[in-house]
Amino acid sequence: MGKRIWITWETQRRSIELARKFGCKLFLFDFPEKTRYLKCLWQTFIAIYTEKPTVIFAQNPSMILAFFVCVWSLVTGVPVVVDRHTTFLLSRKYRNTPRILLFKLLHRLTVRMATMTIVTNQFLAEIVEKLGGRAFVLPDKIPDLKSSTNLLLKGKQNILLISSCAKDEPIVEVLEAMRLISYDGITLYITGNNKKLEKAIIDNAPDNVIFTGFLPEQDFINYLFSVDCVMALTTAEYCMLCGCYEAVAAEKPLITSSKMVLQEYFNKAIFVDNTPSGIASGIQLAVTRMIGLQQDIVLLKSCLLQDWEEKYQRLEEQLHKFEKDLCRKI
What integer pLDDT is reported at residue 206 of this predicted model? 95
Q: Structural domain boundaries of the chain?
A: 4-138, 157-303
Q: What is the CATH number of domain 157-303?
A: 3.40.50.2000
What integer pLDDT is reported at residue 60 of this predicted model? 93
What integer pLDDT is reported at residue 324 of this predicted model? 85
As a whole number of angstroms, the distance between CA 256 and CA 272 comes to: 6
What integer pLDDT is reported at residue 208 of this predicted model? 95
What integer pLDDT is reported at residue 97 of this predicted model? 81
What integer pLDDT is reported at residue 200 of this predicted model? 94
Establish whether domains 4-138 and 157-303 are of one fold: yes
- Give the mean pLDDT per block of 10 residues along the chain (330 residues): 90 91 95 88 97 95 94 95 76 68 87 95 92 95 94 95 94 97 91 93 94 96 98 92 96 97 96 97 96 97 97 94 78
Fold of 4-138: Rossmann fold (3.40.50)
